[in-house]
Structure 1
Amino acid sequence: MVETLNIIKNDPWLEPYSDAIVGRHQHAIAKEQELAGKKTLSDFASGYLYFGLHKEDKGWVFREWAPNATAIYLIGDFNNWQEDPKFKMKRIRKSGNWEICLPEKAMKHGDLYKLKVYWEGGCGERIPAWATRVVQDDQTKIFSAQVWNPDKPYKFKKKVFVPNVGPLMIYECHVGMSQDAEKVGTYNEFRENVLPRVAADGYNCIQIMAIQEHPYYGSFGYHVSSFFAPSSRFGTPDELKQLIDTAHQMGIAVIMDIVHSHAVKNEVEGLGNFAGDPSQYFYPGDRREHPAWDSLCFDYGKNEVLHFLLSNCKYWLDEFHFDGFRFDGVTSMLYYSHGLGEAFCNYNDYFNGHQDDNAICYLTLANRLIHQVNPRAITIAEEVSGMPGLAAPFNDGGYGFDYRMAMNIPDYWIKIIKERKDEDWKPSSLFWEVTNRRKDEKTISYCESHDQALVGDKTIIFRLIDADMYWHFKKGDENFTVQRGIALHKMIRLLTASTINGGYLNFMGNEFGHPEWIDFPREGNGWSYKYARRQWNLVDNHELCYHYLGDFDKEMIHLLEGVKNIQKTDVVEIWHNDGDQVLAYRRKDLVFVFNFSPTRSFTDYGFLVPKGAYDVVLNTDNPAFGGFGFSDDSIRHFTCADPLYAKDKKEWLKLYIPARSAVVLKRVKA
C-alpha cells in the first residue's frame, strides 16, 4: 500500500512515517464509506436541505438537531414571542432531531424568530443552528433569525463559471471596511465600487472575509455564530448572490474565508450550549475551549458534527455559487496543542501522535466533498506548521487542498525589514525564502495579508516609511525615507509575485500602500470606524504618491497574467551575488533582475541568458511608478556571443541596473 501513495514516493524522507500517512488515508476512506454508504459524500452533505426552515407546497417545515432537549418551541413575531402549543416541536421518534410543520399563513417573509429550548434543569432562547438569515436589532442589539422567502428571489445570470487559475491572483477583501466612508460597507457598494477596481487591476479572484454571521464586528469574522447565514451587516443574501454573480460576469472567481476551526462561545446567538449540552458540537473537557482564541473547538469525531460542517461547505457552493474556500486556522485544527508553542523543526513533529486525526479526516473529507460538488472549486489552507501532504492530491496520500498559504514569506519580509540594514539584505536568502516549498504542493505566495494590517502590527509600507507617510507622501515633497520605501515596496512585491508556483495574494488597499492600520469599532477607540475603511481617494489623487504603487501593482499583475500558466514554469536562477546584492532569474521568456544595494548602481552588469533580443517590460525605477528613471527603457538589449557558452545557446546580457531597483525584460524576436 505504501508504494501507491505518491506523497511518499515524492519525498523519501517521509518513508519512516508511512504507517501514519497510510493510516490517515485509510481513516478518511473508511469514514467516507461510513457516512455516505452506497451514496456520494455530496448526498450525505445536504443537511441544509433538511434542517432549518423551509417553505414547501403545503406550508412551512422546520427541523433542528438537539438531542439533549426535552421540549422546543418556535417563538417569534408570528406568535408574539410566546410559547404557543401550536408552535411546539415534536421529537422525530427516538432520534435527536425535532420537527414542526406549519400552514403557509403561520409566518411570512421578514418575520423574526428563535427557539425556546428546554432541557433537564434549564431552558433558554436560541437561534437555530441551521438558520440562513440572522439579523441584529439596531436599538437592542439582539440577534434573531429571520424568515427569508422573497417574492422574487435572486436568479443567477451566469449559470456556469470556470475560474481562471493560471495563475490565481487573489484580492483579499472585507466588504464592511471596503468603503471610504466611516461606516459598515454593503454588498451592493462593494459590487458597484470595488469590483471594477479589482477587475481593472487584473486580479482574477476575490477572497471575501467575514461572510458567516458573527456577533462581534471587531472579530474580523473569525468568531462565527451562525454558519449558514451570510452576515446581515452588509445586506441581504440576495445582494451577496448578486455580488458573486457580477464578479463571475467580470471573470473574477469568488472564494470565501470559511471558519471551521472554532466557533464563538455565545450561547444565545451561537452553538456554545445549544440544548443544555456544552458538548453537542464541541469537544468535551479540556479540549472544548481554545486557549488563545477565547472560542470553542468542534468535535470532529462526531458524525453529526461532520454532517453539519460538510453540509456547510456544500451550502455555500450550492446556494451562493462560491468558487471555493480559504480554510482559516488549519494549524489550530491539526494539533492538540493548536500549534501553540511548537517549533516544527523536523518531520517527527507531524507524526508524533500529537495530531488530531479526527480533524485531519474532516479536512480531507471536506476537500473530497468540495471537489465532488464542483470539480473546478478552489481550496486553500491557512497553515503555518508545514504539515506534509496538506496540498497534495488525496489519491497521492494528501489531504486534497489545491493550495496552501506560503506563510513563511510575510514573516520573512517582516523579519528582514525589522532586523537587517539594507546593506545586509542577501539576494540568495531572499530567493531561497520565496521559492522554498514542497514540489508536489502548490502555494499562495504573499507579502502581507490582513494579518499584517491589524492594530498591533504594521503593513510593509508603514514598516518602511512610518510617520513620514503623513508628511512627505505628496509628489515633489518626497524625502529619502519615502523614496526608499516606495522602491522597496515595489521590489518586495515583484520578487514575491514573480516566483509563485500557484498563486499570489494581496489584501485590499495594500497594493497602493494604504496608510495606517485596521482597527474595528470597539470600546477602546470610542466605537470609531475611522480605521475600519479603505481610503480609495488616496490612490485616486494623482498629487499623492499612492498611485505610483497602485499603478505598479496593476502593471505587475497584468504582466504575470499575460504569461500563460507562468506559475507552472520553472524559476531558473541565473545569478546571485550577495556582495553586490544582485539577483537574476528567468521564467520562460521573462528575465527578472534585482539590485537590492541601497547605494551602488552597476554598468554593463552581465548575465548568461538564452541568446536573443530583450525588451524592458517593467521597471520599478520608472518615473511613472515613483522611480528616478535612470535607465532608458525604450532601448532593446541584444545579447553578446561568448564562444565558451555557444553550445549552451547562451550569451551575455549586459545591463545598467540602478541601486535599489528591479527590471523585467522579455525575450523577443529581433
Structure 2
Amino acid sequence: MSEKTVKKKDEVVIETTHPNLEIFKIDPWVKPYAEDLALRMRRYEGVRKSLLGEKGTFKEFANGHHHFGIHPFGDGWIYREWAPEAYGLYLMGDFNNWNRVSHPLTKNADGTWEIYIPGHDALTHESRVKVRVVGRNGDRDRIPLYIRKVVQDPQTHDFSGQIWSPEEVFHWTDGDFKIEQSEPPLIYEAHIGMAQEKEAVGTYKEFEEFMLPRIKAQGYNTVQLMAVMEHPYYASFGYHVSNFFAPSSWFGTPEDLKSLINKAHSMGISVLMDLVHSHTIKNFAEGINEFDGTSHQFFHHGARGYHSAWDSKLFNYGKHEVIHFLLSSIKYWLEEYHFDGFRFDGVTSMLYHDHGLGTAFDDYAKYFSLNTDIDAVTYLQFANELIKALRPDALSIAEDMSGMPGMCLPIEAGGIGFDFRLAMGVPDFWVNTLKKKDDDWSVGQLWYELTTSRPGEKRIAYVESHDQALVGDKTLIFRMADKDMYWHMNKKSPSLVIERAVALHKMIRLITISLGSEGYLNFMGNEFGHPEWIDFPREGNNWSFKHCRRLWSLADNPFLRYEDLKHFDVAMIHLMHDNALMGGGVPQPLWIDQMRKLVAYKKKDYIFIFNFHPTDPQVDFELPVNDTGGYRVIMDTDEPRFGGNGLISHEVIYEVKTLPGMKQQTGFQIYVPNRTAMVLKKVTLKD
C-alpha cells in the first residue's frame, strides 16, 4: 500500500501498487473511490510502459509526423503511410499525371507502407497528390494521413493533398517568448474567417494586421484560435476536422499562420489552438475514416465509434497507433507553428461512453463508473505530459462540463494534468437566470455558481459561449434586448429595454470575471454586444456571408451604445489585470442580500458592490468591512464613458467607521443605484 513518485527531466514516472495520492488530501470526496483512482494510475503507468519501455519519453515517442507522410529523403522523396489492413497503396498526383498504378507502395511487416521516389524535383512545392487505397471497402482515392496542406479545386470542389516545401524557410523571431505563469490568461476567442467585416472568408494575414492590434489594445494577453485544423465544410465552425497535420487552407498558407503567431508573440500575446481530438469527420474523400479499408483503424467498431449527436467518428484511445497519431499531432502544432497550448474540445464526450449527454453529474459515483472511458482518461494524461515535456510554460485547457475530479491536478497527484477547466456551468447559469423575471433572480445561487470549483482546480470563467451566437440560439444581450437592438442602440434613442440590457451586460461580465476564477474568456464581438447572429454560408441562406462576419464599425462608432460596451470591457480587463485581481480563491463575502439583490465582496484591497435590483437604489447602504482606513470608487458601470448616468462619485472617500445601524460593526455608508456595480480601492486617510 505505497506510492513512489520519481521525476525525471521531461517525464513523469509513477510507480504505484495502491496509490496514496495527493488528490485524496486535496479533495477528500474522492476517498471512497480509491480503487478507481488506483486503476487510473495503474492504467496510466501500464500503457505508458508498453508504449515507451522503461526509459522512453513521450517527446521521443510522438514523432509520427517526422516518419510518416511525404518528406525529402536523400536524393529524392520518401512517402510512408500506416494502413495495416489495406490491400494496396499507390501514390499519384501532378508528378505522374495522376497515374493510378505507376507508383505502388511496398508493405512492411508492421503494417506500414512506403515508396521512395528518386530525384529532388520529382515532387515540387504546391504540386497536388493523393493516395489510391485498395481495401475491403473498395478502391478509393484518399488524402495522405500526415499531409501538411490541403487544397480544393475551384471547379470540381474536390480536395487534394498538396506538397508544401517552400524554398525559403519561415524565419521565426520569437525565440525568447514564454508564457509568464504568474499572468492569468485573459483569452480572446476568435475565428479567423469571421474576424473581419467584409462578406467573405477572412485570412490569417488580415487577422494579423487588423485583429492582433485590436486584441492587444483591449487588454487581452491570449488569443484562442478556432478552426485551425483543416475542415472541408466551412460551416462546421472548424469542429469537423479532416486532416490533423494541416492548417486550414480556408484562411491562407502555412506561412501566413506562422507569421500571425510570430507577430502575436512579438506583441506579448500567447496563441492557443482549439484542438479537436474528441472526434473527426466521417467523410472518406477528405478525412481519415476507413483509410485502410476498415472501420476500426482509428475508431471503435460499430455504434461505439459513431457520435450520433455530432454525426462524426470516435477514436479508440486504447489503441497504441491512435495514441501515436494524436500525440504526434500535438507535438507537430507546438513545434511547427509555435502554438502556446491548447483548448481541448469535447473532453466530456471523450471521458464518458454516453458522452455526458443528458447526464447530471451530481454524485462522485458518476465519475468513477462503468460509464467512464478510462482509455480516454489515459490518453488525456499522456497528452498533458507531452505538452509539458515540450513546453513547460504551455497551457492546456479542458472543455469539460462534467467537473471530473482531478481534471486540473498534476498526473503524479492522481490528476489528468490540465492547467485549467472551462467553467461551462457559468454560461448555462446566466441563460437560465435571464429566463426568469428580474425579481426572481437568486443572488445566493449566483454566488454559488460563480465561486464553486473542484479543490485545486483552476477555472476559465466566461459569460457566454460561441455556440450561443449561432443561429438558433441567442447571445446574452440579444436575450435581453431582442428586436430593440435594431432600433435603439443609438445613444440618443431612449429605450428602457436597451437601458436594462446594457446595464446588465456590464454587471454580468464584471461579476463573472471577478468572482475568483483564475482566467477569463470572451468570444470575439461579444464584448461589445455584437447584434448579428452567426449564420455560416449554406444552401439555406443562398451561401451568404452577411451574418458570418463581425461588424467592428459598430463598436468604433461614437454614436452607438456598442462603443460604450467596448470601452467598459477594455476598462474591466485592464482593472483585473493591472491590479492582479484574477484568481486568489473565493473572495471574502461582505454582503449577500436576496431581498435587496445586493452582492458585495472583497479581494485584496478592493471591494466590489453589485445592486441587481431592477428598481430600488440603496441610499446610505451600510456595508460592514471590519477594516480600517477608507475606500474610494475607482470604476463603476454607471460612468458616462460606459453610457451611464454618472450617479456614483469617484471623489468621495468612504471612511470606515462604526456603522449607525450595526453598532458592533465597522464599515461605511454608500449610495448604490439600482442595476449598477462599482469597484472601490482602499486608500490611506489623511490626518
- On whether the aligned pair clears a TM of 0.5, the verdict is yes
Q: 1:584 maps to which residue?
A: 600
* CA deviation vs aligned residue, 1:121-159 (integer Å, no higher than 9, x gap): 721100011111111122211111111111112121111
Q: Does the CA-based 8 Å contact 1:68-1:96 persist in structure 2?
A: no
Give 1:80-479 correspondences, 5 Å limit: 80-85=97-102, 87-120=103-136, 122-165=138-181, 166-418=183-435, 420-479=436-495
* CA deviation vs aligned residue, 1:312-340 (integer Å, no higher than 9, x gap): 11110111010100010111111111111
Give the 3-state SS of the residue equivalent to 1:233 in structure 2.
coil
* CA deviation vs aligned residue, 1:159-188 (integer Å, no higher than 9, x gap): 132224522100010000000001000000
* Offset at residue 240 of structure 1 (A): 0.3
* Offset at residue 468 of structure 1 (A): 0.2
Output the CA distance in 1 between the equivalents of 2:393 and 2:573.
22
Q: Does the CA-based 8 Å contact 2:195-2:202 persist in structure 1?
A: yes
- Please tell me the residue identity of whatever aligns with 2:472: G
Q: 2:673 maps to which residue?
A: 658
* Offset at residue 212 of structure 1 (A): 0.5
Give the 3-state SS of the residue equivalent to 2:446 in structure 1.
helix
* CA deviation vs aligned residue, 1:254-284 (integer Å, no higher than 9, x gap): 0000000001000011011112112111111
* CA deviation vs aligned residue, 1:31-73 (integer Å, no higher than 9, x gap): 1121112221110011111111112342211111011122211
Q: 1:57–1:384: structure 2 CA closer, same or farther, 3 Å change rule?
A: same
Q: Does the CA-based 8 Å contact 1:615-1:637 persist in structure 2?
A: yes
Q: Does the CA-based 8 Å contact 1:48-1:315 persist in structure 2?
A: yes
Q: Are residues 1:482 and 2:498 paired?
A: yes
Q: Does the CA-based 8 Å contact 2:634-2:679 persist in structure 1?
A: yes
Output the CA distance in 1 between the equivalents of 2:162 and 2:465.
34
Give the 3-state SS of the residue equivalent to 1:666 in structure 2.
strand
- Please tell me the residue identity of whatever aligns with 1:406: A
Q: Are residues 1:549 and 2:565 paired?
A: yes
Q: How many residues align?
A: 666
Unaligned residue ranges in structure 1 (runs of 5+): none
* CA deviation vs aligned residue, 1:580-631 (integer Å, no higher than 9, x gap): 1111001101110000111111111121222222221210011110111112
Q: Does the CA-based 8 Å contact 1:3-1:9 persist in structure 2?
A: no
Q: 1:26 maps to which residue?
A: 42
Q: Does the CA-based 8 Å contact 2:27-2:455 persist in structure 1?
A: no
Q: Does the CA-based 8 Å contact 1:167-1:565 persist in structure 2?
A: no
Output the CA distance in 2 between the equivalents of 1:636 and 1:618.
14
Q: Does the CA-based 8 Å contact 1:92-1:99 persist in structure 2?
A: no
Q: 1:88–1:6: structure 2 CA closer, same or farther, 3 Å change rule?
A: same
* CA deviation vs aligned residue, 1:358-382 (integer Å, no higher than 9, x gap): 1111011111111111111100111
- Please tell me the residue identity of whatever aligns with 2:669: K
Unaligned residue ranges in structure 2 (runs of 5+): 3-17
Give the 3-state SS of the residue equivalent to 1:240 in structure 2.
helix
Q: Does the CA-based 8 Å contact 2:137-2:294 persist in structure 1?
A: no
Q: Does the CA-based 8 Å contact 2:514-2:581 persist in structure 1?
A: no
* Offset at residue 88 of structure 1 (A): 2.0
Q: Does the CA-based 8 Å contact 1:344-1:385 persist in structure 2?
A: yes
Q: Are residues 1:535 and 2:565 paired?
A: no
Q: Does the CA-based 8 Å contact 2:229-2:238 persist in structure 1?
A: yes
Q: Does the CA-based 8 Å contact 1:569-1:587 persist in structure 2?
A: no
Q: 1:93–1:102: structure 2 CA closer, same or farther, 3 Å change rule?
A: farther
The farther-off stretch of 133-142 and 217-226 is 133-142
Output the CA distance in 2 between the equivalents of 1:27 and 1:93.
28
* Offset at residue 569 of structure 1 (A): 4.9
Output the CA distance in 2 between the equivalents of 1:642 and 1:469.
44
* Offset at residue 570 of structure 1 (A): 4.5
* Offset at residue 478 of structure 1 (A): 2.9
Q: 2:12 maps to which residue?
A: none
Output the CA distance in 2 between the equivalents of 1:494 and 1:565.
12
Q: Does the CA-based 8 Å contact 2:633-2:649 persist in structure 1?
A: no
Output the CA distance in 1 between the equivalents of 2:489 and 2:504.
15
Give 1:636-655 correspondences, 5 Å limit: 636-641=653-658, 651-655=666-670
Give the 3-state SS of the residue equivalent to 1:607 in structure 2.
strand
Output the CA distance in 1 between the equivalents of 2:643 and 2:629.
30
Q: Does the CA-based 8 Å contact 2:611-2:673 persist in structure 1?
A: yes
- Relative to the length of structure 1, the TM-score reads 0.97
- Please tell me the residue identity of whatever aligns with 1:111: S
Give the 3-state SS of the residue equivalent to 1:567 in structure 2.
coil
Q: Does the CA-based 8 Å contact 2:537-2:544 persist in structure 1?
A: yes
Q: Does the CA-based 8 Å contact 1:600-1:658 persist in structure 2?
A: yes
The farther-off stretch of 634-643 and 138-147 is 634-643
Q: 1:226–1:486: structure 2 CA closer, same or farther, 3 Å change rule?
A: same
Q: Does the CA-based 8 Å contact 1:64-1:99 persist in structure 2?
A: no
* CA deviation vs aligned residue, 1:206-258 (integer Å, no higher than 9, x gap): 11000000111000000000011000110001110110111111111100000
Output the CA distance in 1 between the equivalents of 2:49 and 2:567.
52
Output the CA distance in 1 between the equivalents of 2:256 and 2:101.
34
* Offset at residue 354 of structure 1 (A): 1.1
* CA deviation vs aligned residue, 1:341-362 (integer Å, no higher than 9, x gap): 2222211111121111111110
* Offset at residue 574 of structure 1 (A): 0.7
Q: Does the CA-based 8 Å contact 1:614-1:636 persist in structure 2?
A: yes
Q: Does the CA-based 8 Å contact 2:451-2:586 persist in structure 1?
A: no
- Please tell me the residue identity of whatever aligns with 1:666: K
* CA deviation vs aligned residue, 1:615-658 (integer Å, no higher than 9, x gap): 212100111101111122232322224699999xx831221100
Identity of aligned residues (%): 48
* CA deviation vs aligned residue, 1:527-578 (integer Å, no higher than 9, x gap): 1111110000000111111011110000000000012363125511111111
Q: Does the CA-based 8 Å contact 2:83-2:111 persist in structure 1?
A: no
Q: Does the CA-based 8 Å contact 2:89-2:113 persist in structure 1?
A: no
Output the CA distance in 2 between the equivalents of 1:4 and 1:425.
43
The farther-off stretch of 535-544 and 61-70 is 61-70
Give the 3-state SS of the residue equivalent to 2:608 in structure 1.
strand
Q: 1:522–1:624: structure 2 CA closer, same or farther, 3 Å change rule?
A: same
